[in-house]
Structure 1
């Protein structure tokens, strides 16, 4: 008996060792279920799920699949080829990203419209299935299904983003693009709150800023929102903080959110505002999209649209030395321009500059006077070879400014006699970016150092985009008002470098606690916690653990993502 017992112990130990030697690096219980795994739902389970959501489940394909066998469709392929870089068309495709490189593995297209029809079309980073949601109930059921079967889950509206968070292989996508309801209120009081109401607009998760602005303008109203019409109003833009040309006048877009409705990781839709679920309300205003739940609607403060004083500014030169002097002169003026009420978007490429300024604080004469250093630039620098042109006009509404600047004049590109539109880093073409928030003190203490950082990044392919969207009302909110990086409150300029040769000069002027706008940042940043949230990260992590303890909502370099493998499929 003793010999048998010893033999039994031996075989138990042997079996244990064998099991450990063949074990996967992660416990299956800690990993997502992928199509190659036994735990992946069977076709009958997918079919049964589809029945519960009224047939809203679709098999996703890359948008270029219609140009390849076995999915070839001549008419659809012709449309895809013609619209391939059109962000409006791309935002309407459930499997597309506005930047097509995010659809491919390692940011290399695997299903291009330019390759031969017989070339195999890879799935790339496009999710396997999508729920084409038209109701919050469908979203709730999708979240519960993903939780039950341990599926990788992503949320997508337009795919207009820098970091590829909604383009993930082997995932279930919740596509909220058709939730476009836009409702206005003259006296909105958040649920459970008391006090006087606000004029407000409630927008569905699929509404885009171009649609919201148009509807608001028809009522004589304005809303603080994004600069591109294809950007979603309730998604990553607002959940990342959201800057605007109206921000110095009213605050970041997230500062002005009154209420959300959200489907949580438990599949329950809840109301979120300052009076109920207040921690989640704080987190959703700057904590990052795709992290805490699925926002199904957002309510924003609205206000009467004021007349807009607009200045269109161009500067060109054949002399790099003179142009760098011009950059230095303009950089030194940024604090004064901000104090004079100017905001907007400015672009550098080579020895060319294009700016679209907006002013709501001053009358036309005062606004014109504050730009005298530009209109009289030849008097200030008589020997300069920089040609500066300033056009000042008054527009009746923010919507008019929005339309004007989105269709603004072209910017001569370096090394070319041709012109290109003022760039949007995510306009449907692949782009690499780096960005930083530049504190006001940097301009006051060493404007020449800031200017040097800008000019030293100049390269044949580099475009610098300067967002004069901070200061003013942004600075008047307390640093902890919302989850967005507290550095926004002392920032003057948000700078994005597109196709940079080096981001180092921006780092050197970003201050001892550098910050970046998480929606327009390098997707590979190493110090992302500090850059995106600073001192707010620890509070955000506690909220994440409370509302999504299983980590159902995952995106790379998002709150809590360092507890998962780089691909987001296994908890470590």
Structure 2
């Protein structure tokens, strides 16, 4: 509780002292209106202008930041705090209890606590602990690593790229107040649900974060009444509900039901996950999570509460289903199809250095595994696997609605090939009464607190069938892209087109022939310089991911788990859907009130001055 307690005290104390910010200047407003497609007009006439800035000889219009005349006054922040019921906090990084002081942009706060530091050190890698913090990121690279846990309390702790303020929203009115404030004052605004974010879209220097994690309402229905032709079972899920939570609640139903969630239990379902598409163990059978959405409740950039479904605001409805996180509206709730839970089977396989130190033999096993990946997904399977030097770890294969005997029959050609090639492996297989039982038993919690850069690419059926050797060579590049760089991969075998051949969402049409989505990762060492970070980013983009792109003809990758700085991200993330998404974005958020890197309509936006100010090129 040290974050919240000190944050509230600091906010109130500095506000009373009148040092939270300078008086708000009188600024001309931008007058932009648009039709809401069934909603009241989208009026942006109260929006503050961008601030003129020159950097490296180029002219920009930037969001408003602390220290500028445009920054909201102390009274402005006090009024916002009152509007949101006292839930406005000054953000303090989660590692602060291990430091004597937090030297924040609004003042210095004494933060050291022996008990608090012990808690931080014990839980910094715990996803569940991190999710509950006001503005923490599960993977810390994009925070600038300026206040990590330490055994030296005298070490400095600064804000880095964390937000200045956080609204711990408890009601939809709190979210609206934050959106309105950001629009009217010109400050950068970010939506944060769980902080489950590889590429920094949940944090940002000098910003106001709206935390939606408290929205935990869940409402089940046996008969969905529309709009649309679907009349089956459904569930309405609040913005903050996470994967394991909704699956657990579904398991308690009679009869038990499931929702298409991610494989990681801490992912929030309703927000950025679905806005990116949302893939998981049921995706081969039922498509992306976005393909299973029936309706959204949202707040727009103009501050409107509205509904998006087939009948109301259908353009917004389509765009929210995979069109990009934090791009079109803030999601309050999502209504999704549910499906009966069924008996399932799972299997695990390891080929690693405890079994063989023969590198060629290990790569032979890896080649066989990937060669059979079309076969796996064409039989309705899902698989989650990890690839490191001399390590292939498949945990698990998922066979929903199948027995262990049926799963073994599907896997047998691959296992027989390993036997023929004398590749040693460990293998286990098991029946489960429900998918939920498999999920709890075989899927593992991921770790938080690491600093890494993330990329990735999708291989489709044609890639696997005709270029598997090239893919394996590209994987070798990913694992050893440079003498001083270590890479690894996280793979997902699924095909949304198996069960949903034609998308009803804004996801890239290329996914409908998918086989393997591979995440690439570089660990970033503590204390890495700006030059080192730039070098690692270049290595990821132009060595590791470039090798994968060159081995593939899919042209496709996943917006939530890939390199946002790759060339032609628009086409790779959304394919032929991109032009319509950009047009829809210009209607619902023409001024960039919402921003997430490499999402529709952000071509002219850039974070300048070493990762600080968000600006638009003029």
Q: Same fold (TM over 0.5)?
A: yes
Indicate which of 300, 303, 324 corresponds to 2:363: 324
Moved more, 127-136 or 530-539: 530-539
Selected match of 1:504 from 546, 549, 566: 546
Whole-angstrom distance in 2 between the partners of 1:428 and 1:473: 36
Alpha-carbon distance change, 403 to 361 in structure 1, aligned in 2, over 3 angstroms: closer
Look up the SS of the partner of 2:261 in the other structure: coil
Cα distance change, pair 131–432 in 1 and its aligned pair in 2 (3 A): same
Q: Distance in 2 between matches of 1:504 and 1:45?
A: 48
Are the aligned partners of 1:64 and 1:113 in contact in 2 as well (CA < 8 Å)?
yes
Aligned counterpart in structure 2 of residue 495 of structure 1, from 518, 524, 527? 518
Is this contact kept in 2: 1:31–1:569, CA < 8 A? yes
For residues 222-301 of structure 1, the aligned pairs below 5 Å read 222-301=258-337
Residue 311 of structure 1 and its aligned partner are, at CA, apart by 1.3
Change (3 A) 1:149 1:358: same
2:602 counterpart of 1:561: yes
8 Å contact 1:162–1:523 — kept in the other structure?
Answer: no
1:315-358 CA-to-partner distances (Å, cap 9, x unmatched) read: 23211111112222222222222222221212222222211101
Gaps of 5+ in 1: 1-22, 409-423
Aligned mates of 1:493, 1:272 — CA distance in 2: 32
Q: Residues 60 and 616 of structure 2 are in contact (CA less than 8 Å); yes or no, is this contact kept in structure 1?
A: no
Deviation at 1:168, TM superposition (A): 0.6
Quick one: distance in 1 between partners of 2:143 and 2:53?
Answer: 28
Correspondences of 1:403-422 after superposition (within 5 Å): 403-407=440-444
Q: Which moved more, 1:86-95 or 1:494-503?
A: 494-503
1:25 corresponds to which residue? Answer: 54
SS of equivalent to 1:287: coil
Q: 1:509 to 1:24 in 2, by over 3 A?
A: closer
Q: Which residue of 1 aligns with 2:566?
A: 525
Check the 8 A contact 2:240/2:270 in 1, yes or no: yes
Residue in 2 that maps onto 1:539:
580
Quote the residue 1:9 is aligned against: none
- Using the TM superposition, give the Cα deviation of residue 149 of structure 1 relative to its aligned residue in structure 2, in angstroms: 0.7
Aligned length: 523
Counterpart-to-counterpart distance in 2, 1:498 and 1:24: 34
What's the secondary structure of 1:165's corresponding residue?
Answer: coil
Structure-2-length-normalised TM-score: 0.80
Whether 1:465 aligns to 2:490 is yes
Say which is worse superposed, 272-281 or 310-319, in terms of deviation: 310-319
Q: Which of 559, 569, 589 is equivalent to 1:548?
A: 589
Normalization by structure 1: what TM-score?
0.87
1:216 correspondence with 2:250:
yes
* Paired residue secondary structure (1:393): strand
**For 2:456, what is the secondary structure of its paired residue?**
strand
What does residue 456 of structure 2 align with?
435
> Greater shift after overlay, 454-463 or 343-352?
454-463
- Answering whether residue 77 of structure 2 is matched by residue 54 of structure 1, we say no
Range with greater deviation from structure 2 (54-63 or 427-436):
427-436
2:380, 2:498 within 8 Å by CA — same for their partners in 1?
no
Provide, for residues 355-379 of structure 1, a one-character-per-residue CA deviation record: whole Å limited to 9, x for no partner: 1101125444332222223443464
Match of 1:124 among 146, 160, 175: 160
Equivalent residue of 1:541, what SS?
Answer: helix
SS of residue paired to 1:542: helix
1:110 aligns with 2:146: yes
| Cα-to-partner distance string for 1:534-559 (whole Å, 9 max, x where unaligned) | 22111111111101111100122121
Cα gap change, 1:456 to 1:144, in 2 (>3 Å): closer
Q: 1:127 to 1:335 in 2, by over 3 A?
A: same
> d(CA) in 2 for partners of 1:212 and 1:142?
27
Shift of 1:268: 1.1
How far residue 71 of structure 1 moved from its aligned partner, in angstroms, is 2.1
- Contact in 1 for aligned 2:215/2:239 (Cα 8 Å): yes
Task: Confirm whether residue 514 of structure 1 aligns to residue 555 of structure 2.
Answer: yes
Question: C-alpha displacement at 1:564, in angstroms?
Answer: 2.3
Distance 1:397 1:363, change over 3 A: closer
Cα RMSD after superposing both structures: 2.3
Alpha carbons of structure 1 residues 298 and 372: separation in structure 2 relative to 1, 3 Å: same
Q: Secondary structure at the match of 1:506?
A: helix
After TM superposition, list the pairs within 5 Å mapping 1:6-21 onto structure 2. none
Report whether the alignment pairs 1:478 with 2:509.
Answer: no
User: Does the 8 Å CA contact 1:65/1:72 hold for their aligned counterparts?
Assistant: yes
**Structure 1 contact 341–361 (Cα < 8 Å) conserved:** no
Separation in structure 1 between the aligned mates of residue 318 and residue 247 of structure 2, nearest angstrom: 25
Distance 1:246 1:194, change over 3 A: closer
Cross-structure match for 1:448: 469
Q: 1:162 and 1:407 mapped to 2: Cα distance?
A: 18
Pair 1:320–1:29, CA change in 2 (3 A): closer
Question: Given the superposition, is the C-alpha separation of residues 527 and 34 from structure 1 closer, same or farther in structure 2, using an over 3 Å criterion?
Answer: same
**8 Å CA contact 2:498, 2:512 repeated in 1:** no
Pair 1:88 & 2:98 matched: no
Distance 2:382 2:191 in 1: 32
